[in-house]
């Protein structure tokens, strides 16, 4: 059976550079739609957080204005999150530190502001991503701020495995629209470019997916469904949907 690891933030808050805090947590559509898609595809899904702490959903991510004013989408996500089995998964996830990338066919990292606190540029997720990236048959995939989880990945020689790779994620322009770009301790777009990523910022707040080999990235929550489908296509058929 195909096995997918979804690595979620467990941080309720994100500490900004002036010491103040911003709400953290997981961005709902970036977990709900991929988890639903992977499960329906027949994949075995493991959800994990740093330390195995509960994964909080950011309430703001369920606001209608931040969901393309799509009430049906918001209603589906709320219903999905209220399922007892989903609540149990989020309340008692696996410990990221205990996992081995060799046990999974894909490592998938959704976004949310909490990612900047406990998954962005951190060793536990960097190790798993680096291990997965070394195998062409495995997939590394991120959404929005989840792209910052790529920062800590390193090859055995210390080099960054994604240098020269095309990718997208939470662009500085969208962070500015959320009012967090100026206060952020660091900006993923800038950090990734410094590491020689070929960063592909699409039109703001739209569905943008970039595929480069076994790296599949989505720009934001609006990209969640198509990013998940690109992962499914890669794992299920061995083929790759050109999604960019």
First and final C-alpha spacing in the chain: 28
Alpha-carbon distances of 152 from 118, 188, 195, 205, 232, rounded to whole Å: 12, 12, 11, 26, 25
pLDDT at 136: 85
Which residues, in sequence order, are CB contacts of 156 under 8 Å at separation 6+?
Answer: none
pLDDT at 238: 57
Low-confidence ranges of the chain (pLDDT < 70): 238-244
- Report the 10 Å Cβ neighbour count for 233: 19
Mind listing the pLDDT tens digit for each residue in 166-205? 999 999 999 999 999 999 999 999 999 999 999 998 999 9
3 state SS of 74 = helix
Question: What sign for the dihedral angle of Cα 127, 133, 138, 143?
Answer: positive
Instruction: State pTM to two decimals.
Output: 0.95
Separation between Cα atoms, residue 82 and residue 76, nearest integer Å: 10
* Strands 139-143, 215-218: pairing kind: parallel
Mind listing the pLDDT tens digit for each residue in 4-19? 999 999 999 999 999 9
Separation between Cα atoms, residue 101 and residue 5, nearest integer Å: 8
Cα–Cα nearest to 33, from 129, 132, 108: 108
Mind listing the pLDDT tens digit for each residue in 80-96? 999 999 999 999 999 99
Burial 126-163 (b: 16+ CB within 10 A, else e): bbbbbbbbeeeebbbbbbbbbbbbbbbbeeeeeebbbe
């Amino acid at each position: 059976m195909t096995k997918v690891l979804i690595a979620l933030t467990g941080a309720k808050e994100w500490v900004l550079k002036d010491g103040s805090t911003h709400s953290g947590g997981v961005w709902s559509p970036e977990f709900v739609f991929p988890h639903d898609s992977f499960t329906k595809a027949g994949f075995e899904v493991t959800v994990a957080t740093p330390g195995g702490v509960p994964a909080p959903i950011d309430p703001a991510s369920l606001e209608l204005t931040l969901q393309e004013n799509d009430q049906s989408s918001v209603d589906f996500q709320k219903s999905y999150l209220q399922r007892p089995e989903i609540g149990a998964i989020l309340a008692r996830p696996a410990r990221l530190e205990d996992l081995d990338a060799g046990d999974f066919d894909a490592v998938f990292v959704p976004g949310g502001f909490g990612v900047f606190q406990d998954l962005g540029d951190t060793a536990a997720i960097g190790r798993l991503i680096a291990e997965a990236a070394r195998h062409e048959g495995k997939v590394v995939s991120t959404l929005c701020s989840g792209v910052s989880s790529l920062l800590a990945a390193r090859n055995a020689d210390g080099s960054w495995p994604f240098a020269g790779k095309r990718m997208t994620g939470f662009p500085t322009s969208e962070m500015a629209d959320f009012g967090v770009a100026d206060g952020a301790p660091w900006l993923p777009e800038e950090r990734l470019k410094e590491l020689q990523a070929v960063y592909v910022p699409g039109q703001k707040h739209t569905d943008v997916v970039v595929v480069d080999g076994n790296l599949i990235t989505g720009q934001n929550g609006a990209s969640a469904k198509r990013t998940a489908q690109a992962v499914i296509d890669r794992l299920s058929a061995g083929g790759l949907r050109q999604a960019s």
